[in-house]
């Protein structure tokens, strides 16, 4: 029986068409939604699904480009308590930066997207890289100032 694999499995890639034993296909691959039977109807379904995924990805890329543009035009301020030598009491983490972006321009960025090597422990101006979507990276300009 010929089947079309719906996901990567064993040594087979998603979308690959392969000849397998009838029992293996009927009793394991098809019930576990690893593959579907090879026929015209299923080929059309897979093509439609591929187009839908491409459109979704294009939309996400366009949205990520807009977010990148907005982030790079903006600068963000976090005010915090600091002691002598401009050292902070505590530190600014990627979660704090994410919260500041949400509060200041209402764009939600996950803390895992912010590529902060180590927490910020001094007052100053920082440029922090952000992974917005797959290959699209941006930069956040952050001002860490003394709380008054």
Q: Distance between CA atoms of 28 and 58, rounded to whole angstroms?
A: 34
Whether residue 79 is found in the same domain as residue 140: yes
Q: What pLDDT is attached to residue 138?
A: 92
Whether residue 54 is found in the same domain as residue 81: no
Distance of CA 95 to the CA centre of its chain: 16
Q: Distance between CA atoms of 19 and 28, rounded to whole angstroms?
A: 14
DSSP-assigned beta bridge partners for residue 88: 82
Query: Which residue is it, tokens 């960025």?
Result: 109
Whether residue 36 is found in the same domain as residue 12: yes
Q: What pLDDT is attached to residue 2?
A: 95
The backbone torsions φ and ψ at residue 130, rounded to the nearest 5 degrees and listed phi first, read -135, 130
Structure tokens at 136: 């699209």
The domain that holds 32 is classified in CATH as 3.40.5.10
Q: What pLDDT is attached to residue 148?
A: 78
Q: What pLDDT is attached to residue 141?
A: 96
Range of the domain at 47: 2-62
Residue 65's SS3 state is: helix
Identify whether 69 is part of a domain.
no
Whether residue 95 is found in the same domain as residue 140: yes
Whether residue 35 is found in the same domain as residue 87: no
Whether residue 83 is found in the same domain as residue 133: yes
Ordered per-residue pLDDT tens for the chain, 148 residues: 999 999 999 899 988 999 999 999 999 999 999 999 999 999 999 999 899 999 999 999 999 999 999 999 999 999 999 988 889 999 999 999 999 999 999 999 999 999 999 999 999 999 999 999 988 999 999 999 998 7
Q: What pLDDT is attached to residue 88?
A: 93
Residue 87's SS3 state is: strand
Count CB-CB contacts under 10 A for residue 12.
Answer: 17
By C-alpha distance, which of 51, 68, 61 is closest to 139?
A: 68
Question: Global pTM?
Answer: 0.73
Whether residue 41 is found in the same domain as residue 89: no
Identify whether 51 is part of a domain.
yes
């Amino acid at each position: 029986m010929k089947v079309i694999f719906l996901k990567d499995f064993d040594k087979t890639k998603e979308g690959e068409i392969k000849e397998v034993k009838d029992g293996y296909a009927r009793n394991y691959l098809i019930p576990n939604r690893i593959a579907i039977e090879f026929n015209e109807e299923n080929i059309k379904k897979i093509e439609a699904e591929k187009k839908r995924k491409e459109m979704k990805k294009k939309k996400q890329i366009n949205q990520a480009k807009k977010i990148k543009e907005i982030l790079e035009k903006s600068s963000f301020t976090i005010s915090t308590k600091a002691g002598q030598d401009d050292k902070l009491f505590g530190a600014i983490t990627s979660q704090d930066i994410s919260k500041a972006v949400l509060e200041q321009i209402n764009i939600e960025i996950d803390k895992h997207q912010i590529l902060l090597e180590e927490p910020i422990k001094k007052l100053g101006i920082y440029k922090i890289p952000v992974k917005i979507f797959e290959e699209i990276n941006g930069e956040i300009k952050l001002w860490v100032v003394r709380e008054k």
